[in-house]
């Protein structure tokens, strides 16, 4: 049973606004009388052009539009309104109701469909329902923004309330060892060294967490920029040479032609490469090697990081990019890590519109291949 036409409109009075577009003056008057009586502020327009000009000026929750109109029909009005205000709820009314016209209107972006002639109760019901949908969508957007705000505040809290004290503790231990190592028992020195190692692991975990949060909020990867791939590869490898020397691993760079500039910013690209190359070093073996190759293939920039390390078991390949996942074997237990490095790599590559894949043979080594879009304006190599 339909509700009475006097059913009040949901929402606050300032929000209860509706635009009606129809080339039939009687229909405009009828819709205005019905909707005004239940609490809506109604504006009527006899052509699509007039209605669109009004919608361009101000955000209004709901539109009621006829399909069959001269010059600009209802389908074209829906398409243009969707470009102006994607959140506007659109109800279609027509005297030529068929399944095909209803489907066409829904595909164009209409919320609901009401065939003429209709009763005051039917119009009230469908407009109330559309307006409730708009309220729910607005509330959902507000909750999303609030959640992002809370997450950003939490990231700030983590950065200042956790990272800062840990850095201070590490500095105190550094000073203690520097000034008093000869006076400390060997056992005490060992405990302090272990404490420093754990603090370093915690700081790495916090930094990875912060980086992951920044990527999720679009604060790290700036797609409008172009990064010099060759320069970033050189800088990253140079910065990781001390780690490679300590691990007795050789790192080399091979270039197939000039490495093209890629879409994205230098910071995110350096983070991606640093994670991949440092992993290749850490999970290698003494006397092993890491090869970083860059090339341009099929209109994309390709980066390949290949190592001669311990490899990955087949059952671990599908989970490599999950957050906090680490391959657990006797060979990896002593290797420090947070389980976030490859998850960060996957997020960065996805944000930049690229792909990342892994091939590995246990006991022989692993190869990670990244393909990224070339920066706009750069001609692909032939």
> Distance (Å, rounded) from C-alpha 316 to C-alpha 116?
61
Report the candidate in 238, 370, 353 with the shortest Cα–Cα distance to residue 295.
370
Give per-residue pLDDT as tens, 297-307: 888 889 999 99
Distance of CA 29 to the CA centre of its chain: 46
Give per-residue pLDDT as tens, 52-71: 999 999 889 999 999 888 88
CB 261 within 8 A of CB 227: yes
256 pLDDT more than 80? no
Residue-level pLDDT at 5: 43
> Distance (Å, rounded) from C-alpha 199 to C-alpha 240?
21
- Kindly report the three-state secondary structure assignment for every residue of 60-125: CCEEEEECCCCCCCHHHHHHHHHHHCCCCEEEEEECCCCHHHHHHHHHHCCCEEEECCCCHHHHHH
Q: What percentage of the chain carries pLDDT values higher than 90?
A: 32
CB 278 within 8 A of CB 290: no
- For 39, other C-beta atoms within 10 Å of its C-beta total 16
Q: Which residue has the tokens 């000034």?
A: 179
337 pLDDT more than 90? no
> Distance (Å, rounded) from C-alpha 291 to C-alpha 298?
22
330 pLDDT more than 90? no
Q: In the predicted model, what is the mean pLDDT of residues 15-22?
A: 92
Residue-level pLDDT at 2: 40
- 162: which 2 tokens? 């956790």
Residue-level pLDDT at 88: 93
Give per-residue pLDDT as tens, 263-292: 777 888 888 898 899 889 988 988 999 999
Residue-level pLDDT at 356: 92
- 115: which 2 tokens? 């065939």
Residue-level pLDDT at 269: 87
Q: Which residues, 6+ apart, have CB-to-CB distance to 268 below 8 Å? A: 215, 220, 221, 222, 348, 351, 352
Residue-level pLDDT at 11: 62
> Distance (Å, rounded) from C-alpha 114 to C-alpha 118?
7
> Distance (Å, rounded) from C-alpha 352 to C-alpha 224?
10
Cα–Cα–Cα angle for 329, 334, 337, rounded to 5 degrees: 90
CB 131 within 8 A of CB 16: yes
DSSP for 253-310? EEESSPPPPEES-HHHHHHHHHHHHHHHHHTS-TT-EEEEEEEEETTEEEEEEEE-S-
27 pLDDT more than 90? yes
Q: Which residues, 6+ apart, have CB-to-CB distance to 127 below 8 Å? A: 9, 18, 35, 40, 62, 64, 91
Collapsed DSSP state (helix, strand, coil) of residue 251: strand
The answer for 82, left when phi > 0, alpha when psi is -120 to 50, beta otherwise, is alpha
Residue-level pLDDT at 186: 84
Alpha carbon distance, N-terminus to C-terminus of the chain: 69
Distance of CA 328 to the CA centre of its chain: 29
Write the DSSP symbol of residue 226.
E
Question: 0.75 cut: is pTM over it?
Answer: no
> Distance (Å, rounded) from C-alpha 208 to C-alpha 98?
56
Q: How confident is the model at residue 30 (pLDDT cuts 50, 70, 90)?
A: very high
Beta bridge partners of 250: 289
> Distance (Å, rounded) from C-alpha 118 to C-alpha 8?
19
Q: Higher pLDDT residue, 222 or 162?
A: 162
């Amino acid at each position: 049973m339909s509700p009475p036409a006097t059913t009040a409109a949901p929402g606050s009075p300032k929000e209860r606004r509706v635009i009606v577009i129809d080339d039939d003056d009687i229909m405009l008057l009828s819709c205005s009388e019905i909707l005004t009586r239940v609490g809506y502020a109604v504006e009527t327009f006899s052509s699509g052009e007039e209605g669109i000009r009004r919608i361009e000026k101000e955000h209004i929750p709901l539109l009621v539009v006829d399909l069959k109109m001269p010059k600009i029909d209802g389908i074209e009005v829906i398409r243009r309104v969707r470009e102006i205000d994607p959140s506007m709820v659109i109800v279609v009314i027509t005297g030529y109701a068929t399944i095909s016209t209803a489907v066409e209107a829904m595909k164009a972006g209409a919320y609901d469909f009401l065939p003429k002639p209709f009763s005051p109760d039917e119009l009230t019901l469908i407009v109330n329902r559309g307006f409730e949908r708009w309220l729910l969508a607005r509330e959902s957007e507000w909750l999303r923004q609030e959640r992002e705000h809370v997450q950003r505040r939490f990231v700030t809290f983590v950065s200042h309330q956790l990272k800062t004290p840990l850095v201070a503790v590490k500095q105190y231990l550094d000073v203690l060892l520097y000034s008093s190592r000869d006076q400390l028992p060997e056992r005490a020195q060992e405990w302090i060294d272990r404490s420093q190692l754990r603090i370093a692991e915690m700081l790495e975990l916090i930094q990875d967490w912060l980086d992951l949060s920044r990527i999720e909020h679009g604060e790290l990867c700036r797609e409008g920029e172009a990064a010099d791939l060759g320069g970033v590869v050189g800088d990253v490898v140079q910065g990781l040479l001390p780690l490679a020397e300590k691990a007795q691993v050789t790192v080399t760079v091979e270039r197939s032609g000039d490495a093209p500039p890629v879409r994205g910013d230098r910071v995110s690209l350096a983070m991606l490469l640093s994670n991949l190359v440092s992993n290749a070093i850490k999970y290698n073996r003494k006397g092993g090697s890491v090869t970083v190759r860059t090339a341009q293939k099929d209109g994309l920039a390709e980066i390949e990081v290949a190592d001669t390390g311990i490899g990955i078991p087949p059952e671990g390949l599908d989970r490599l990019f999950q957050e906090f996942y680490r391959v657990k074997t006797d060979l990896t237990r002593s290797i420090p890590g947070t389980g976030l490095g490859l998850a960060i790599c996957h997020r960065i590559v996805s944000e930049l519109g690229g792909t990342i894949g892994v091939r590995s043979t246990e006991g022989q080594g692993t190869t990670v291949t990244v393909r990224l879009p070339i920066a706009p304006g750069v001609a692909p190599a032939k």
